[in-house]
Structure 1
Amino acid sequence: MAPSTDTTTIVRPRKQRPIEATELATKDQTFTDADVWGRAGLGRSWLRSLIGASPLFLAPIGSISIFITLVQYEGSFSLFTAAVKEHGFWNICAQYGPQITLKGIAAVICWLAVQAVLYIYLPGENHKGQLTPAGYLLDYKINGLSAWIVTHLLYGGLSYLGILDPGFIPRNWSSLIGAMNLAGFVISALAFVKADFSNMAYQYQNQGYVEPSLILVTALQTLYVLDFFINESWYLRTIDIAHDHFGMYLIWGCFCFLPTTYTIQGQYLGLYPSSASTPYLAFFFTLGVAGYVMFRVVNHQKDTVRQTGGNCTIWGKPAECITARFRTSDGRQHTSLLLCSGFWGWSRHANYVGDLLLSFSTCALVGSTKVVVWWYAVWMLVLLVHRCIRDEKRCSVKYGDAWTEYCKRVPWRFIPGVW
């Protein structure tokens, strides 16, 4: 359907062509910084810059503290805090912190080399990313799923032949964390699932069997990562790729924070085997799967509307959308649809609710009340609330009156009646 002249017009699907991807803005239009959505640009205060830079030193300290808490203090933050008060943080780090060794550095380099070779030589289709604020559509090679499969075949084959110790990661976690912090380079999300498999092997080597809780935790995280590789082209249009520049957040975060923090549940169960009752495990595993299904269905609804130009049904009814226009810095005007029916009429960020259910369930499966076990869920809550605020601010600038109208139609951000 052709773009409406009213940016807040409610549209219902008719048998018309999909919305045009672009249309030229008039030649006499002038643009200011406020007209172009995207990065905030210059002019920040020194305090805001300092706060923004704080993760550069706080994040590595956090990952090291979690490692020491898990390995030396049985996952108890209270014991770790007491030790820090008595001996000092840097003394504790020097005695128990990750060690940078040649073995750890060699392992990280080998991992990167294998993944680079797989990316270069495995076949894969090229897919377009999200439209940038400057109006560009970038191409990305998509072969992550095949690389994931080949990596695990190599892992299983080399372990079977006795060339690779299947419990290598937890046995050498200290030197690997040291090497990852030192390298600070991006790594695939596959790393944290592989770490969970290695924790299972480690637990089996130590006690002759694997606890059901660790199996279910690994299953949920494997599901999450497989989703990433199966839908790799979809992730190109997410906030991480489209708006978060390739800096500290993505480099250190993906290379070190993801494999050390998102695997805390597997690390804990590998070190301190335990398992809750069968009904308890069944409930939270089912809740985790339900969270994943919700996450996937919510995003599928939005993708379907955009692919069909709104000419589709959601929950058996015609999709209800708001037509919104935005401009890129090259002066071109574009049109997008804001879905306000289905899950998107229930909440403006229902996909985040599914994410939170999955992360909460993963932590709950451990069956422990220790704060370190729940760190992943707490982190995801903070991350997604912050992302929600960032996303809504950017959408307000990008879509203007259309976004205001959408917020009136769908007043709740996460859960109706709560927030």
Structure 2
Amino acid sequence: MVKVSVIIPIYNVENFLNDCLDSIVNQSLTDIEVICIDDGSTDNSLAILQSYAKFDDRVKIIHQDNKGSGATRNLGIEQSTGDYVYFMDSDDYIDLNALEKLYNNAVSNNSDFVIFKIARFDKENDINYNAPGFDIESIFGDVDYNNFTFKYSNIKHYVMNASFAPWIKLYKKEFLDRYNDLRFPKDLAYEDVPFHVKIMLYASRISFIPEFLYFYRLNPNSRVHTSNSYDIFKIIDIVEKFLIDKKYYDELKDEFDLFKITQILNYILSIGEEEYFQKTKEEFSKIKISSQTNISEYYLERYDLVLRSNNLIEYINEHYEICINNLNKVISNLNGNISNLNEDINQLNVEKNFLEKDISNLKSKNEFLSEKCDAFKCDLDCLSNKNKKLINRNKKLMDSNRKYKRDLKAAKKFKTAVLNSNSWKLTKPLRFIRKKI
């Protein structure tokens, strides 16, 4: 048994598969198995898988005819032997420390699954961190998420109105096996939606890592086919039936209504079929939005528009009219902002003129002070020269003083000699000198 089983459904992704597999086989957590399920690829994907399996015995390859993501992921769960299960899409990549961080968090919290943040990138590899999928920190704040768990009741909005993707979570295998219905619907698009709703409601302990660990490729080729877009109605019915059967519907009705409206509206224009519009109108007529339903103005406008319109053409015309009006509002706001900006620029120009005057005055003062400084330097040089002369004069005076002291000392010595001499008694001149001294 390994710590984590990584399950990767693969279908015609030869251009991106190396990036995906490199991010998995080079994980800091090495005790993993990599279950690669080739879902009937017709390109070079299988050969790429075989090249990795040849050098890494953790890579296991399963080949099957094309059955879709739901059946493929279910097969991966059945084949997995890990304590935890992680689903990976084959055209994306994850942080090289992701599995280790997720595993440690799950074990530390004994959680049924761990959720985290996703970043998105395009073909230019510009990474966008603005849509993390889950903004759990805004609910719980700055806590130690390695020792913190919660339930769906703490994050009701995310039960049906968040990122449904299975690759944004690490699951405890025992948790997935505990419930018979914790598997993906087969032969349906959007198969991850009911799976997400079920795990959110079944989990007794959910944990979170406030880090961007998954990097989702914005790949236009991975979009759901128009022919499968009608599956969203079936998916909504599956979710509604589950909520009713498990006694969650009354508690989560507002979240369900929001989920139903946003999911159906997401495809009404891209499909562009009258049948889809009439089906939408029928479903929306069953919904009574309450004041508790946290629906944005964008979706609320279009929900009302569907109910007012008789057909798709009428909806499209008014939809684009709304878009144009909103665009005009944006332009009007921009013009107002430009006008305010021009006023700010004029004010800045006035302040600039004042500053220029101040700068001119400062320059004049600086020139005046510079002249004063030059005069001060001249005075300082003059004083320095006078000081040198005084020093020389003082030196001469000190020399004269030393000479005077020597002469005085000699005179005193002479005086003492004269006073002590007997010669003055003998001659008249000496007697005269003695009287003087």
TM over 0.5: no
* Greater strand content: 2
The normalised TM-score by structure 1 is 0.24
